Amino acid sequence: MMNSETRSIYRKSLIAFFIIFMSSVILDQVSKIHAERTLLKYSHEKDLKIYQGSTVPVFVSERIAEKKPGLFFGFTYVRNQGAAWGALNDLDDKYRIPFFYLVTSVAIVMIFFFLKSTPLANRLPRYALILVLSGAVGNFIDRLRLGYVIDWIDFKWNILGWYYDFPKFNVADSCISVGIGLLIFDMIVLEKRRNTANEKIA
């Protein structure tokens, strides 16, 4: 049974989580709709894999095209029917679609389980889980609505001879990456501090 103070903290946490979740999902969906409207040049009526996207540079070093030291950042329209980095993109639809529906559903259930089992005092991992949840839901909406995920953020670099064209991504992917990064930080750094503090109290 929660006392009045705990209930108040719980309500505030729910409000904060709801705001973070809705803001992330709305930003993700609005940005994808805008990307499709402004960057998509051609799309086949029936075959989702036949399309032509365009690229809009935002920041580019002239020499990056020659794979010389430099940076590129811009927007490029890409349809991803697979997982991260296009994995399973060529899998037959009768296997690919149910697979991603199942994996996403299981992931969402697991996130809710971890949210419920994480103490209210551990705010960072709870916020991190909400970010991961919002990213998973954002991409899942794409799969339900379109049959593919829209990726549009384009970044590549050549630093000290290391040339890399980073896979196109979106706001939902960013939320998932940031959330996982925060969870790793919490497990490696903050969890150790919490255990040390509990040992001192004991």
- Cβ atoms of 148 and 79 within 8 Å: the answer is yes
What average pLDDT does the segment 45-70 reach? 82
Query: Could you give phi then psi for residue 114, rounded to 5 degrees?
Result: -65, -35
Catalytic option among 28, 142, 154, 173: 173
- What's the alpha-carbon Rg for the chain, to the nearest Å? 20
Note whether 13 and 120 are within 8 A (CB): yes
- 151 among known catalytic residues: yes
How much is the pLDDT for 42?
Answer: 95
Taking only the tens place, the pLDDT of each residue in 14-36 is 899 999 999 999 999 999 999 99
The rounded distance, in Å, linking the Cα atoms of 135 and 176 is 5
pLDDT digits (tens, 9 = 90+) for 73-89: 999 999 998 766 556 66
Q: Residue 181 has what pLDDT? A: 96
Average pLDDT over residues 182-195: 86
- pLDDT band per the 50, 70, 90 thresholds, residue 190: confident
Catalytic residue (one of 151, 154, 165, 186): 151
If you search the block for the tokens 């150790």, which residue do you land on?
192
- The DSSP secondary-structure symbol of 65 reads G
- Residue that the structure tokens 């969870």 belong to: 183
Q: Distance between CA atoms of 132 and 129, rounded to whole angstroms?
A: 5
**pLDDT digit string (tens) for 113-165?**
998 888 888 889 999 999 999 999 999 999 999 989 999 999 998 887 788 88
pLDDT digits (tens, 9 = 90+) for 83-106: 665 566 666 666 777 888 888 889
Paired residues of 157 in beta bridges: 71, 164
Strands laid side by side in the 55-60 sheet: 55-60, 70-80, 149-159, 162-169
Give the pTM: 0.86
DSSP code string of 126-185: HHHHHHHHHHHHHHHHHHHHTSSEEEEEEEEEEETTEEEEEEEE-HHHHHHHHHHHHHHH
